[in-house]
Amino acid sequence: AHAETSVTLYGIVDGGIGYQQLKGTVYDDAGNAVDYNGKRTGMINGINSANRWGLKGTEDLGDGLQAVFVLESGFDLGTGVSGQSLGNTNRMFGRQATIGLQSDAWGRFDLGRQTNIASKYFADIASPFGVDFGQAAAGATFNSAASLRYDNMVMYQTPNFSGFQFGVGYSFNANGSQQFRDSGGDDPNTHAWTTGLRYANGPIGLAATYDQFEAPETLPVDGGVKVKSWNVGASYDFSVARLHAGFGQTRNGWFQGITFGDLDTAGALMVNDGMRVNSYTVGVSAPVGPGEIMASWGMADPRGTAGDDEKQNIYSLGYTYPLSKRTNVYAIGSYAKNVAFQDDLKSTLIGVGMRHQF
Amino acid sequence: AHAETSVTLYGIVDGGIGYQQLKGTVYDDAGNAVDYNGKRTGMINGINSANRWGLKGTEDLGDGLQAVFVLESGFDLGTGVSGQSLGNTNRMFGRQATIGLQSDAWGRFDLGRQTNIASKYFADIASPFGVDFGQAAAGATFNSAASLRYDNMVMYQTPNFSGFQFGVGYSFNANGSQQFRDSGGDDPNTHAWTTGLRYANGPIGLAATYDQFEAPETLPVDGGVKVKSWNVGASYDFSVARLHAGFGQTRNGWFQGITFGDLDTAGALMVNDGMRVNSYTVGVSAPVGPGEIMASWGMADPRGTAGDDEKQNIYSLGYTYPLSKRTNVYAIGSYAKNVAFQDDLKSTLIGVGMRHQF
Amino acid sequence: AHAETSVTLYGIVDGGIGYQQLKGTVYDDAGNAVDYNGKRTGMINGINSANRWGLKGTEDLGDGLQAVFVLESGFDLGTGVSGQSLGNTNRMFGRQATIGLQSDAWGRFDLGRQTNIASKYFADIASPFGVDFGQAAAGATFNSAASLRYDNMVMYQTPNFSGFQFGVGYSFNANGSQQFRDSGGDDPNTHAWTTGLRYANGPIGLAATYDQFEAPETLPVDGGVKVKSWNVGASYDFSVARLHAGFGQTRNGWFQGITFGDLDTAGALMVNDGMRVNSYTVGVSAPVGPGEIMASWGMADPRGTAGDDEKQNIYSLGYTYPLSKRTNVYAIGSYAKNVAFQDDLKSTLIGVGMRHQF
């Protein structure tokens, strides 16, 4: 932590004021359908970017090779509580905990906990909101791109070849420490693969990703079921505006739910054998003076869920304005219908806030 | 974390050796009165100042405006455990988590979790011990000034006008994430206001504060009851010594209990409809060579508690001596009678320690 | 966190890939003996050195005296979860939390949570693996040297006199905040002493340590039982290789278990009145080019355990190779028989990894 430092301390602090509503039919703890019209006007935080602080470093090992590490912690600015829980535990470095090697010639290898390839490569290309802005994020429609994080992962990403980059990761157990497997017994671990390709050069952005996890064999009913998701996205910058579009399919479950109002959809790494969801999005972003305006539509079209199988539609409009290189203000409005495929369940988010990067 | 840093890492480490006793009639888990004479001789910590580490930063936005943030974490030096829990969770940044804007011309606006105005403005003026030194702190007598912290708060403080400063804060939910409220249903949140004025110029210090919280409407019995507290304090520096005095009233409950021996009084934000407490304190501090000696008396006079309604009296004597600009040693002795208004329950604290700021 | 900083941010990040096996007879939750052959191939971490980050600082107080503090946090790189739990709580600074004074003339005094003297003085001299490399560590055979940490400790260590150093520490309660003791009642605290001497000069290393803790008097059966352990170790550097040897005895219980495969042995500070364990180790380390090779054998010979009383033997071989001053790669192989004194229970660890210090 001095001038010849070997570690960088960094983070993002993001807070604001907002209005949220969840309205429609929900199910209480006993499973009964009840009419609900929940509202909240108050402090919001982590909307533009999730709150975080972290330690990272790079050391030259010679021949262009570097040792690298990232330790990144998430938190809620309203309460100061850590995010990214594991069971009843709040993780210390829930956003990322990796050690690795990188070089311009050979690419980058990381070991530890981090986000999957779809969140890294697809989200920013398919949507102007990327992984940010709550229910406006690409991940609300494409669940494998919803800032999904895997524990115990090995990940390799190639160097950037004229705009092309390929990445692949494998997790020995996606959520929690890898368990021992008794010889001849069922595997208690959730194995996961994540892979993808992106091309970003001049005005063009392209991404294709594939994710798969296998439910623990020890699960009573769905043990060993493979949940799969692939996504393709494209963007083109016409200077006056950048267009974004994406398509994807998810089969047999759900990778990562997101929060609509006070409804957390589906948890993470949930199996629903036979479920099929097709996801679509188009979006646009455009510079407005020094700021930027963003708009998107996303639809997730389900078959074979246990519920209503209604199409979830999300319409979002956002604006960011830089106060400086590291600080900006933002406004967001987003309206979602048939949330979590439930007939006529609606979620509204309206907010303004400030984000500071350090 | 290098020379052109945008973040400052800071903290306080405080530990020592002490003797504590709690003696008198206490109530066991079954509610039976039992004689108790609990003693502890051993390590104490966080007596002069609570242990903490934090990250803070400031960025100039032009025209005298600055973006500011504070992330501050509390911990116990004896065990390394985080402080400021929320239910079963230990908060990461339990002392403060805010983002804001400030300027010399317009004052300071903050959003997030932080201490209330009474703890900021009143405690240091009414008592030479301020918010520090355990049961000697102003907050042991004036419960709304006991380092009370609110979640989800918006706070505005004016600039310092010739010594005058005014502040006001509102919390959408004082403890935990703000809950959604069903339309037509009761509000599950604890709303809180905190406001006050202070004047500090030359030898004179004056403070007046008002705090109010409203119990969640969803509480079975006390839902919606408003708990209120106002305090006034003054200090004058005669050079040879600084005199401190304070008076306050609390109605219908308790904002923040403190720890006497191993008794945590009353928890935080407790309702006791009809309870009335008047609080009084006088104190003095005086330089003794490079060090300082501090003495205070505080009395909280209750009516309408469920218990004994006995006057709680606290007599405290302390001394600090600087070893350097950032390190000091201290000694503290404090005796409290009728602790928590219980007849003849006595608490003694005697300790010496060292405090280091970084 | 800038050039004139008063705090240093530091840490170690360590991860790799490994194979682990635990094979033999184990006991299920109902206490029944079952055949088990648990295997795990996947990410390992904290093998060469446990993962950690911390804050530390030193301030000159004049006359050669310095104020010192260390706040050190442990974590799992695979999941980002904090280590060193206390009950259901993950400690923030579980590895160390101390404030103190030091001088070249008077030595060092620390107050707070830290490792005991056997872990500091004995482990590195008796074994080439010291406190590191999982089941290869000295602590797997000498349980009082297994990175044992005490809460609420006062510790004094002399300066280094021509290679001699003496240290002694006392903990008011070894695990968790010190409890109050009712007058005339049983003491609910675990008091612990740790002391030792080491001599390190030129090629010679010698260490002798003694540890003792007293079970809380409030324990129903074993209250007040004193568990004791002493160790002696020696090493000599023949340039071509350094030889290590150690002997020790533990009586009436166990200070700190370690993890063999997915078996956590015996927990921490466990009483087993009448249990006697003699511990032996020999080891060797030798430079191989810029790297180092290490090998050791350790045996713990029990009497009076409730179980099989079989001799636990551990055979370990390791290698480290520096990629730079702060980064190294390593390989480890270790085989243990009669793990935790259970007949024919075997544990295997094979792994390679990378460690980076910042």
Question: Could you tell me if C24 and A183 are in contact, meaning their C-beta atoms sit under 8 angstroms apart?
Answer: no
Per-residue pLDDT, A39: 97
Indicate yes or no: CB of B78 within 8 angstroms of CB of C183: no
Which of B59, B101, B153 to substitute to test the interface with A, most A CBs within 10 Å? Answer: B59
Rounded to whole angstroms, the Cα distance separating A110 from A169 reads: 9
Per-residue pLDDT, B30: 86
Check whether B37 has a pLDDT greater than 90. Answer: yes
Query: How close, in Å, is residue B236 to chain C by CA atoms?
Result: 32
pLDDT band at C1 (very low <50, low <70, confident <90, very high): very low
Cα C17 to Cα A178, C40, C47: the distances in Å are 12, 10, 10
* Minimum Cα–Cα distance from A261: chain B residue: B180
Q: Which of C87-96, C139-148, C181-190, C300-309 has the lowest mean pLDDT?
A: C300-309
pLDDT band at A5 (very low <50, low <70, confident <90, very high): low
Instruction: Dig out the tokens for B174 from the structure.
Output: 């004082």
SS3 B73: strand
Check whether C31 has a pLDDT greater than 90. Answer: no
Return the higher-pLDDT residue of C305 and A294: A294
Helix (H) / strand (E) element for B124: namely helix B123-126
Domain membership of residue B319 (yes or no) is yes
Rounded to whole angstroms, the Cα distance separating A278 from A298 reads: 11
Query: Considering chain A, what is the average pLDDT of its residues?
Result: 95
Mean pLDDT to the nearest integer, B84-112 = 96
Rounded to whole angstroms, the Cα distance separating C235 from C243 reads: 5
Per-residue pLDDT, B74: 98
DSSP C199-226: EEETTEEEEEEEEEEE--TTSTTTTTPE
Which range has the top average pLDDT, A32-36, C22-26, C43-47? Answer: C43-47
* Minimum Cα–Cα distance from C322: chain A residue: A61
Check whether B4 has a pLDDT greater than 60. Answer: no
A191 CB-contact burial (10 Å; exposed 0-12 / middle 13-18 / buried 19+): buried
Mean pLDDT to the nearest integer, A328-353 = 96
The domain total for chain A is 1
Indicate yes or no: CB of C324 within 8 angstroms of CB of A88: no
Q: What is the pLDDT of residues A242-263, one digit of tens each?
A: 999 999 999 999 999 999 998 8
Question: Could you tell me if B234 and B115 are in contact, meaning their C-beta atoms sit under 8 angstroms apart?
Answer: no
SS3 B46: coil
C220 CB-contact burial (10 Å; exposed 0-12 / middle 13-18 / buried 19+): exposed
B303 CB-contact burial (10 Å; exposed 0-12 / middle 13-18 / buried 19+): exposed
pLDDT band at C198 (very low <50, low <70, confident <90, very high): very high
Check whether C266 has a pLDDT greater than 80. Answer: no
Mean pLDDT to the nearest integer, A122-151 = 97
C32 CB-contact burial (10 Å; exposed 0-12 / middle 13-18 / buried 19+): exposed
* Minimum Cα–Cα distance from C1: chain A residue: A1
Q: What is the pLDDT of residues B227-254, one digit of tens each?
A: 999 999 999 999 999 999 999 999 999 9
Per-residue pLDDT, B5: 61
CB-CB neighbors (< 8 A) of A41 in chain B: 172
Instruction: Dig out the tokens for B136 from the structure.
Output: 């000697």
Contacts of A62 (CB under 8 A, 6+ apart): C324
Q: What is the pLDDT of residues C302-340, one digit of tens each?
A: 999 877 899 999 999 999 999 999 999 999 999 999 999
Domain membership of residue C144 (yes or no) is yes
Q: What are the two backbone dihedrals, phi and then psi, of residue C146, each rounded to the nearest 5 degrees?
A: -90, 60
Mean pLDDT to the nearest integer, A138-167 = 97
Question: Could you tell me if B165 and B150 are in contact, meaning their C-beta atoms sit under 8 angstroms apart?
Answer: no
Signed CA dihedral, B257, B261, B262, B263: sign only: negative
Per-residue pLDDT, A2: 37
Closest CA to B211 of B301, B279, B131, B118: B118
Domain membership of residue B95 (yes or no) is no
> Look-up: residue for tokens 């021996």?
B261
Rounded to whole angstroms, the Cα distance separating A88 from A79 reads: 17
Check whether A216 has a pLDDT greater than 70. Answer: yes
Indicate yes or no: CB of A112 within 8 angstroms of CB of C327: no
Per-residue pLDDT, C305: 85
- In angstroms, the first-to-last Cα distance of chain A is 15
Q: Which residues pair with B210 in a beta bridge?
A: B195, B230
DSSP C18-43: EEEEEEEEEE-TTS-EEEEEEEEEEE
Rounded to whole angstroms, the Cα distance separating A271 from A255 reads: 9
Mean pLDDT to the nearest integer, B198-210 = 97
Question: Could you tell me if B205 and B236 are in contact, meaning their C-beta atoms sit under 8 angstroms apart?
Answer: yes
Which of B60, B86, B111, B155 to substitute to test the interface with A, most A CBs within 10 Å? Answer: B111
Helix (H) / strand (E) element for C117: namely helix C117-117
* Minimum Cα–Cα distance from A112: chain C residue: C78
Rounded to whole angstroms, the Cα distance separating A137 from A117 reads: 16
Name all chains with 3 or more CB-CB pairs below 8 Å to chain C: A, B
The C-alpha torsion from A237 through A243 and A249 to A255, rounded to 10°, is: 80
Rounded to whole angstroms, the Cα distance separating A70 from A102 reads: 13
Per-residue pLDDT, A267: 84
Residues spanned by the domain of A135: 9-357
SS3 C182: strand
Check whether B2 has a pLDDT greater than 50. Answer: no
Is this complex's ipTM strictly greater than 0.90?
Answer: yes
Query: How close, in Å, is residue A204 to chain B by CA atoms?
Result: 33
Check whether B1 has a pLDDT greater than 90. Answer: no
Report residue A83 CA to chain centroid gap. 14
Domain membership of residue A83 (yes or no) is yes
Indicate yes or no: CB of A98 within 8 angstroms of CB of C90: no
Rounded to whole angstroms, the Cα distance separating A176 from A191 reads: 11
Indicate yes or no: CB of A97 within 8 angstroms of CB of C90: no
Mean pLDDT to the nearest integer, C220-242 = 96
pLDDT band at C26 (very low <50, low <70, confident <90, very high): confident
Domain membership of residue C2 (yes or no) is no
* b/e C75-84 (16+ beta carbons within 10 angstroms → b): bbbbbbbbbb
Query: Considering chain B, what is the average pLDDT of its residues?
Result: 95
* Minimum Cα–Cα distance from C70: chain B residue: B13
Q: What is the pLDDT of residues A266-284, one digit of tens each?
A: 789 999 999 999 999 999 9
Among C2, C15, C22, beta carbon nearest to A112: C15
Check whether C2 has a pLDDT greater than 70. Answer: no
CB-CB neighbors (< 8 A) of A183 in chain C: 37-39
CATH code of the domain covering residue C92 = 2.40.160.10
**Would you mind telling me the total number of residues written for chain C in this entry?**
358
Per-residue pLDDT, B26: 85
Among B1, B73, B90, beta carbon nearest to C1: B1
Domain membership of residue B282 (yes or no) is yes
Mean pLDDT to the nearest integer, A119-136 = 98
Query: How close, in Å, is residue C113 to chain B by CA atoms?
Result: 6
Rounded to whole angstroms, the Cα distance separating B182 from B215 reads: 17
CB-CB neighbors (< 8 A) of B88 in chain C: 88
Amino acid, res. A349: L
Q: What is the pLDDT of residues B299-354, one digit of tens each?
A: 999 999 877 899 999 999 999 999 999 999 999 999 999 999 999 999 999 999 99
Pairing of strands C107-115, C96-103: antiparallel
Domain membership of residue C118 (yes or no) is yes
Name all chains with 3 or more CB-CB pairs below 8 Å to chain B: A, C
Q: Which of B26-35, B169-178, C136-145, C252-261 has the lowest mean pLDDT?
A: B26-35
Question: Could you tell me if B211 and B118 are in contact, meaning their C-beta atoms sit under 8 angstroms apart?
Answer: yes
Check whether C134 has a pLDDT greater than 70. Answer: yes
3-state secondary structure C80-104: CCECCEECCEECCCCCEEEEEEEEC
Q: What are the two backbone dihedrals, phi and then psi, of residue A258, each rounded to the nearest 5 degrees?
A: -125, 175
Radius of gyration of chain A (CA): 20
Per-residue pLDDT, B218: 95
3-state secondary structure chain A: CCCCCCCEEEEEEEEEEEEEEEEEEEECCCCCEEEEEEEEEEEEECCCCCCEEEEEEEEEEECCEEEEEEEEEEECCCCCCECCEECCEECCCCCEEEEEEEECCCEEEEEEEEECHHHHHHHHHHCCCCCCCHHHCHHHCCHHHCCCEEEEEEEEECCCECCEEEEEEEECCCCCCCCCEECCCCCCCCEEEEEEEEEEECCEEEEEEEEEEECCCCCCCCCCCEEEEEEEEEEEECCCCEEEEEEEEEEEEEEECCEECCEECCCEEEEEEEEEEEEEEEEEEEEECCEEEEEEEEEEEEECCCCCCCCEEEEEEEEEEECCCCEEEEEEEEEEECHHHCCCCEEEEEEEEEEEEC
Domain membership of residue A3 (yes or no) is no
